[in-house]
Every structure is written in structure tokens, then in C-alpha cells.
Amino acid sequence: METQWLDQTEREAWLRLTAVVELLPGVLDTQLRSASDMTHFEYLVLAMLSEAPDRTLRMTGLAQRTNATLPRLSHVVRRLEDRRLVERFPCPEDGRATNARLTDAGWDAVVAAAPGHVDTVRQHVLDPLTREQLGQLKEIGDALLSRLDPDGRMTVLYDPERAG
């Protein structure tokens, strides 16, 4: 099969997407580290727990919602446990599984971090776009996720109906 090289428009779009994918995590991490002493991934873990019933999820469910491997998630949750933001305990329904629960201190941390995080997201991602562009960005995200996440594992992040 012969390679179908990118035309000029495709190349320009690809390089801009690559730049955003590379730069945005650093912007989010920098703000959260300086204002809240946490990484963006730690914030995501706390946020996903904060939105779960009883602020509790099985580690496998939390890994799915954060798109993390279990080893990476376990390492981060251990760090959050050391800071008393999260606690782990055996799942009552399945003794082989482990649950993670947001503590009151974890709730306070994510609530305190959220305004600065949202301001950063607005400043660097949302505010530069028109309402029409925001709709297009959503559609573009849906189209890309249909290929990147065909099973819809990450759907819980953006579809409240699936989050329960």
C-alpha cells in the first residue's frame, strides 16, 4: 500500500493539533502545581471521584475515567493517600476489587483547585473560540474519539448519562 502523504491543508491542521496536544498539558500542570500543589492528572483523579456516587469508584472504573493504566493510577492514588486526599479499601461487593474514595480533605482540595483550573481552561482553550467554533470543536472531538476510543471508555468524561 502506497503512503498517502498529507496535503498542505492536512499538514497545517495536523501540526496545529500536535502543538496543542504538546503545549496544553504543560499549561494545565503549571497552573495546578503553582496554585494547588497537584498535577493535572492528580486533579483529574480527584475530580472524577468528586463526581462519583459517595465520592467512591472501583480502581478499575477510576482508571477507565482517567484513561490510566492501573499501575500508573495506583502510584498516583498512593501519593494522594499519603496526602490524605484519597483512601482505598476493599470493595464490599467484590473482595477482589479495591475502591478509592475521596476524603473530606480531598473534596476541599478539588473544590479549592477548581476555580483556578477552570480559569486556565477558559483563558487558553475556550475564550479564544467563538460559540460556533466551540460547537465545531465538540464535533471534531466526537469524530476523533470515534476512532481513538471506539468502545466509548472515555465517554463518562463528557456524557453525564454514561457517568452514573
Q: How many CB atoms lie within 10 A of CB 91?
A: 16
- Separation CA 57–CA 144 (nearest Å): 27
Q: How confident is the model at residue 162 (pLDDT cuts 50, 70, 90)?
A: low
Q: What is the pLDDT of residue 157?
A: 65
42 residue type, one letter: E
For the stretch 93-140, pLDDT in tens is 888 999 999 999 999 999 999 999 999 999 999 999 999 999 999 999
Give domain limits for the chain.
Answer: 25-128, 130-164
Q: Which CATH class is domain 25-128?
A: mainly alpha
3-state secondary structure at position 159? coil
For the stretch 12-31, pLDDT in tens is 999 999 999 999 999 999 99
- Separation CA 91–CA 130 (nearest Å): 45
Q: What is the pLDDT of residue 164?
A: 45
Report the chain's mean pLDDT, rounded to a whole number: 93
Q: What percent of the chain has pLDDT over 90?
A: 87
Task: Tell me the pTM.
Answer: 0.88
Say whether pLDDT at 146 is over 80: yes
Say whether pLDDT at 64 is over 60: yes
- Separation CA 43–CA 20 (nearest Å): 20
